[in-house]
Structure 1
């Protein structure tokens, strides 16, 4: 498939709405708080999980799909917000999420004739090709009183005799990666074991108490006043072709350790982690790639932004199972000249490490200065900003629906912004997978520079 072509659509076999069990599901309403509000108008988050499952279409429709629907119903009993909606009142009062009996999740069952092995490789593939497997969130409903935002859409796509792909699209304001990955793994557990007992035993059941989140600085009010002044922005439909290729780069545990050792030798005592050095290497290699095709002044600021989980760092800490968003905004900054120079990698690692120390390990607490985060983020619009989607902490290759581990994880979300995806490696213990979606020329140049830089270690 060339980049000028429209992606081949999957054939929709069924569209349905899956509700939690009416005999167990009660209404649930919780406020959208300051941790959720910065993501209110963020683009939907999309994840794809591919599984080897060489089954026929009749077996898929008659055996696998009914079981998946039943296990989804059981799982939603514990994840009611995902079957509900986010409500934005148009008069007074802040936004909230609400599940009411009868609410449901949109599920699409589809069939694709695309090459399963091609899509699940690490080599460059046309980014457009993946959207046949990506579900679309239903549009928001507008009334004179409020705006109602659906929060989750699901799709299961069969590649006959080869495998299946699970597509997840969620509204970011309903929950961060920790919450959504917990749901994905919970559904996998229920489908694999046929009941929710292990889900409960493994402590995958979410925690919904918003009163546990203290707000002494009045962040809820500060953030909502900013949101109210913003116009409602619904994500426009994706326009094809994207003119990008998607490629996965794997960095092994030994390579990560060599990167750490290199930085420690140059900058002893700095905050160096696998995340820090991997992000620094990708950031610098991308800038070196751009330097070959465009002219950027050496004093031009370069930013690297990413979220950090706050759950265990609040006072008092929240349970790991807290459902919603609970993220701090971390921003590293340097200049183009320093980062593309000979010591660019060390400089990048140092900047990212210092940003983590400044925010995550702040002596005054991780929320120190949080009242300014929305404005700080707003100032980065139009700037040279690169970021990260995902984290090595969330191992989606652990999600076993009964057919073994996924063959491949992909993050279509990175097609629409300047970010990379990052997750644990499927095949290398202690390794990491980096996903990039870039124009063909840029991706090819990046691959060469990235390989060259790792080879110098």
Structure 2
């Protein structure tokens, strides 16, 4: 969850959204795709790491593919549906429901019974200008959230956990696959593991072996401190999670950092550390990305409102603890095993253009990772919600996704995606992180803001990139 730093309504006429044709989406049909063959009835109790996300908004991912002119789209849809049966069989809890455990008032579980299924919706866009629509969707430039949001499905009612929507884009030149998952069912590692499994199953005659199956065993996460009770009592409501109230003109844009630019950020941070006579922070490509994006974000906020009201600002992002649990969890554990890292930095330092802002941001991010790794088996976990509520007034930025998920490798048999977005960050105010589309070691970041704020952020980002290249 997150608080966007600049979500107030822009003045009329300032930073109007780029022209963006509306999509006319018509639902053709919705079918239920059960596991085949069906496993027996099963209940999986939520762990304290699952209950942390009980009321959070669902995660919505959108994959956009360009189809060949001679593509047999009906065969593609049929293959997607048929292979989904196979993937759901391995990940059968996602076909179930979230419910209160019978006879309890605050214990929740994922409950699967034979007949439960994932919803699979087929839709189609009707429009004459197919190329214009596809290019407007598969772009890094700002797009209206209201348009791309029509391409992801809602979760089924009464506790549904997973839904898929395949939408044929205008003139059948492209296809989007929208996936919505309840965060209490699994984290991003688990949901993308499912998608990779589905993609391999869909690729007829694929040479690559399928990914290893998920490990479905919630008893692997011990709870000696009774953190479930702490989290169920302190869990924010859905309204508290949705800090950002989207306007009708909300935009979404993607900002890319190449491998070379990431190295330039690391070099600038190391040189600034030497200038200050301090040890440089451990600056991985991910730390460099977070620091750069966070500093630009704060610069854009300060450009709008001037000196910040709060002396400190925060970035919170997930840290995967599978390998750090005692004993370690399997890499393919299906469930939630992430915890927040809280990076805090002086507002004024973070908003500085150039090396000073990047150094402060990267140092804070690196330090927060070290702290989060130490905290997972300590009493500090108990205050996660307290820390979040303390940070809400200052406005803090959070992160969704990870380059490790390899979303651009999601090939269902008709090529790699031309664009991947985490649409749900428009509601939560987070930034969405993924590996770069070209696969050359870069990282891309999706940002959702209102038009005036987007205009300021784009300028700050472009100015920072120009500074990186000029300092050589």
List aligned pairs for 1:286-301, cutoff 5 A.
286-297=297-308, 299-301=310-312
Judged with a 3 Å threshold, the aligned counterparts in structure 2 of structure 1 residues 404 and 195 are, in CA distance, closer, same or farther, namely closer
Q: 1:28·1:80 contact (CA, 8 Å) conserved in 2?
A: no
2:156 is aligned to 138
Q: 1:79 aligns with which of 80, 87, 91?
A: 91
How much does 1:25 deviate?
A: 2.1
> Hey, what does 2:66 align to over in structure 1?
52
1:115-174: per-residue Cα shift (whole Å, max 9, x none)? 11210011122221102211011233xxxxxxxx11111100001331100000111100
Structure 2: how far apart are the matches of 1:387 and 1:428? Answer: 24
Q: How far does the alpha carbon of each residue in 1:335-390 deviate from its partner, in whole angstroms, 9 at most, with x for none?
A: 32221135222111111111111112x2x755551122122223333431101111
- What residue in structure 2 maps to residue 219 of structure 1? 227
Counterpart in the other structure of 1:157? 167
The answer as to whether partners of 1:26 and 1:100 remain within 8 angstroms in 2 is yes
CA distance in 2, matches of 1:448, 1:129: 24
Q: 1:367 to 1:206 in 2, by over 3 A?
A: farther
The CA distance in 2 between the partners of 1:288 and 1:48, in whole Å, is 29
Q: Which residue number corresponds to residue 387 of structure 1?
A: 398
Aligned to 2:381: 370
Structure 1 equivalent of residue 12 of structure 2: none
Equivalent residues of 2:399, 2:432 under 8 A apart? yes
| Other structure's SS at 1:101 match | coil
Instruction: Report the equivalent of 2:142.
Output: 124
- Asked if the contact 2:64/2:177 (under 8 Å) is kept, the reply is yes
What secondary structure is seen at the aligned counterpart in 2 of 1:174? coil
User: Per-residue deviation at 1:83?
Assistant: 0.4
Aligned length: 438
Deviation string 1:44-75 (CA, Å, 9 cap, x unpaired) is 11000011113579x323x1222111100111
Query: For residues 377-409 of structure 1, what are the alpha-carbon distances to aligned partners after superposition, in whole Å with 9 as ceiling and x for unaligned?
Result: 233334311011111111111111011211110
Segments of 5+ residues of structure 1 without an aligned counterpart are 141-148
Please identify, of 364-373 and 99-108, the stretch whose mean Cα deviation from structure 2 is larger: 364-373
1:35 match: secondary structure? helix
Which of these residues, 54, 61, 67, is aligned with residue 40 of structure 1? 54
Change (3 A) 1:100 1:216: same
Deviations 1:1-31 (A, max 9, x none): 968999534111111111111x442222111
Normalised TM-score (structure 1): 0.89
Counterpart check, 1:322 vs 2:320: no
Question: Where does 1:106-121 land on structure 2 (aligned, <5 Å)?
Answer: 106-113=119-126, 115-121=133-139
**2:182 and 2:269 mapped to 1: Cα distance?**
38
Q: Which has the higher contact order (CA 8 A, sep 6+)?
A: 2
Structure 1 195/251 Cα, relative in aligned 2: closer, same or farther at 3 Å?
Answer: closer
2:428 to 417, 436, 444: 417
Structure 2 distance, partners of 1:42, 1:329, is 14
Kindly tell me: are residues 110 and 55 of structure 1, through their superposed partners in 2, closer, same or farther at Cα, counting changes over 3 Å?
Answer: farther
> Which structure 2 segments of 5+ residues have no match?
1-15, 128-132, 274-278
Distance, in Å, in 2 between the alignment partners of 1:127 and 1:196 is 37
Q: Which residue in 2 is equivalent to 1:253?
A: 259
Deviates further, 173-182 or 388-397: 388-397
Alignment partner of 2:184: what SS? helix
Please name the residue that 1:436 is paired with.
447
Pair 6,52 (structure 1): closer, same or farther in 2 beyond 3 Å: closer
Q: Distance in 2 between matches of 1:225 and 1:196?
A: 49
| Deviates most, 85-94 or 409-418 | 85-94
Q: Tell me how far 1:189 sits from its aligned partner.
A: 0.5
- Is 1:19–1:104's contact at 8 Å kept on the other side of the alignment? yes
1:98, CA displacement in angstroms? 1.1
Q: In the aligned structure 2, how far is the partner of 1:185 from the partner of 1:298?
A: 45
In the other structure, the counterpart of 1:279 is 290
Q: Note the 1:12-31 alignment, pairs <5 A.
A: 12-21=27-36, 23-31=37-45
Q: Cα distance, 1:88 vs. partner? A: 2.0
Closer, same or farther in 2 for the Cα pair 1:279/1:197, shift >3 Å? closer
Q: Distance in 2 between matches of 1:338 and 1:408?
A: 34
**CA distance, structure 1, for counterparts of residue 239 and residue 143 of structure 2:** 31
Q: Report the alpha carbon displacement of residue 197 of structure 1 after superposing the two structures with TM.
A: 9.4
- How far has the Cα of 1:216 moved from its partner? 2.2
Q: TM-score, normalised by structure 2?
A: 0.86
Give, in angstroms, the shift of residue 269 of structure 1: 3.5
